[in-house]
C-alpha cells in the first residue's frame, strides 16, 4: 500500500471515530437525563456529574477540532492568496504544526468520551446489579 493509502485509511477511521464519539456524547447526555432526580429542581445524581462534565467537554472538543482547523487552514489559504498563488498552482506543503491542534482535540475528545462512558457504565452496572 502506498503512503497515501494509509493516510486515506487514517482519515476514514478518524472521521468515523469522531462521528461516533459525537453520537455517544448525545446518547450519554440522554442517558443521564433519564436518571435525573425528580425534585423541586431537577438534578443529576452525584455519580453522573463527572461523566456529564466529561461528555460536555468532549463535545466542546469536537467543535474546537473543526473550528480551529478551519481557522488555521482558512488563514493559510488567505496568506497564499495574498502572496499571489493562483488556484491551479501546486503548493509544496504546509507547516506540520497545522495538524497538531486538530489531533489534540480529536484524541482529547476520544479519551474524554471513553472516560465518561466508564463512569456511565459503572453507574448503570451498580443500578442493575
What b/e sequence results for 86-97 when a residue is b if at least 16 CB atoms lie within 10 Å of its CB, and e otherwise? eeeeeeeeeeee
What crossing angle do the helices spanning 100-128 and 46-82 adopt, rounded to 10°? 160
Is the pLDDT reported for residue 24 higher than 80?
yes
Question: Distances from the Cα of 118 to the Cαs of 40, 46, 55, 56, 100, in angstroms?
Answer: 29, 15, 11, 15, 27
In DSSP terms, 37 is beta-bridged to 43
pLDDT digits 0-9 by tens, 102-115: 999 999 999 999 99
Question: Distances from the Cα of 13 to the Cαs of 16, 50, 51, in angstroms?
Answer: 5, 28, 25
Distance CA 21, CA 110 (A): 6
Q: In percent, how much of the chain has pLDDT > 70?
A: 96
- Provide the domain limits for residue 120: 3-128
Question: Distances from the Cα of 75 to the Cαs of 85, 97, 110, in angstroms?
Answer: 14, 14, 27
How many domains is the chain built from? 1
- pTM, rounded to two decimals: 0.83
Is the pLDDT reported for residue 38 higher than 80?
no
Amino acid at each position: 500500500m502506498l503512503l497515501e493509502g494509509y493516510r486515506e485509511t487514517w482519515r476514514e477511521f478518524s472521521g468515523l471515530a469522531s462521528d461516533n464519539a459525537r453520537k455517544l456524547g448525545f446518547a450519554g447526555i440522554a442517558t443521564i437525563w433519564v436518571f435525573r432526580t425528580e425534585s423541586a429542581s431537577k438534578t443529576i445524581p452525584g455519580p453522573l456529574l463527572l461523566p456529564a462534565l466529561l461528555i460536555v467537554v468532549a463535545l466542546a472538543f469536537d467543535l474546537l477540532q473543526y473550528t480551529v482547523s478551519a481557522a488555521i487552514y482558512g488563514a493559510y489559504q488567505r496568506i497564499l492568496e495574498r502572496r499571489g498563488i493562483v488556484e491551479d498552482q501546486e503548493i509544496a506543503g504546509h507547516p506540520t504544526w497545522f495538524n497538531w491542534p486538530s489531533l489534540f482535540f480529536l484524541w482529547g475528545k476520544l479519551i474524554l468520551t471513553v472516560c465518561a462512558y466508564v463512569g456511565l457504565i459503572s453507574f448503570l452496572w451498580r443500578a442493575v446489579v
